[in-house]
Structure 1
Amino acid sequence: MSAPWRYVIVFRVQLEEQMDKEQAASEWIRVCNITEIPDDMGFKLQIENDHAVAAFRVGQEYFVVEDKCTHGAASLSEGFIEGFEIECPFHGGKFDLRSGKPTAFPCTLSIQTHETRIEEGTLYTLIYRDKIQPETKDR
């Protein structure tokens, strides 16, 4: 019978390797100065692979989500904020900025949300490089 401590060592090494991969695949990026975010719309930041994120402010809370509507090719940064929802400017579908979940038809697929932090008046967001999807014609 194998000693139980061997399993602990193997598991710990595997866990550390996984954590290293996750850290390498993610990074905090500067989005904008918080004063650049309009009161009733979003701020768009173009990042790699023709991918963009949109930053929004609701009261004193800040949210960063993927910019493309999952229903059509609309830029959500050009949408309208209603409470914690962003309304797509093309078809009127809505998403919850906190969770990314669709809240109004015709949207049925969630948008990706990103963790945020503010340092000295600048908004940063955590981007996971392996989750960035390149633009396609149907997205």
Structure 2
Amino acid sequence: MSTIKVKVNGNVVEAQVTGNMRLLDLIRDKFQLTATKEGCAIGECGACTVMMDGNAVCSCLVLAEQCHGAEIMTLEGLADNPVTQQLQDAFVERGGVQCGFCTPGVLVSTTALLARHPEPSEEQLLDALEGNICRCTGYQPILDSINHVLKRN
């Protein structure tokens, strides 16, 4: 066991972690932040995407110990982010969400992209979402929702 300090959704916290504990487990089990989902556990689906020091990462691939001193942002921490709020509204209005399992990861990935590139190219948008798998929407409603927000801003 080791103790790490990490900033999660704006709050500095300490946690006891084992050497093989994943960031995903730390977020869900220790901090009870359940918007982050476990899908594939091998970094293929993006359901577990969080922001780590401003970058979208698959939390199933990051060891909790690697997060010592890092800033982690989950979808819960983005609740007051105006861009995330606009994205959520557009996903509902435009059908970008169906079952909703992939939605937190897609929203976090998109928010991270827009923080770096407020006016992304289509290629940048597709690259940012490449690691997020959706089995329901066929992706076009997700892209329509995001593009709706981009056109507003």
Which has more helix, going by share of residues? 2
Which has more strand, going by share of residues? 1
TM-score of the superposed pair, with normalisation by structure 2: 0.23
TM-score of the superposed pair, with normalisation by structure 1: 0.24
**Bigger CA radius of gyration:** 1
